[in-house]
Amino acid sequence: MPLVPYDPFGIMRRDFNSFPSFPRLFDDDRFEGHFANMPRIRVDVRESQNEVIVTAEIPGLEKREDVNITVHDNHLHLSGKIERMDEQKDENVHRMERYYGQFSRTVPLPTAVDDTGAKASYRNGILEVRIPKSQKQIGRQIDVDFH
Model pLDDT for residues 93-106, shown as the tens digit of each residue = 787 777 788 899 99
Buried/exposed code over 108-133 (b: 16+ C-beta within 10 A; e: otherwise) = ebeeebbeeebebebeeeebebbbbb
39-86+97-138 belongs to which CATH class?
Answer: mainly beta
Q: Where are the domains of the chain?
A: 39-86+97-138
Q: What confidence tier does 40 reach under pLDDT thresholds 50, 70, 90?
A: confident
Is the four-CA dihedral 38, 40, 41, 46 of positive or negative sign? positive
Question: What letter represents residue 89's amino acid?
Answer: K
pTM of the model: 0.65
- Terminal CA-to-CA distance of the chain, rounded, Å? 87
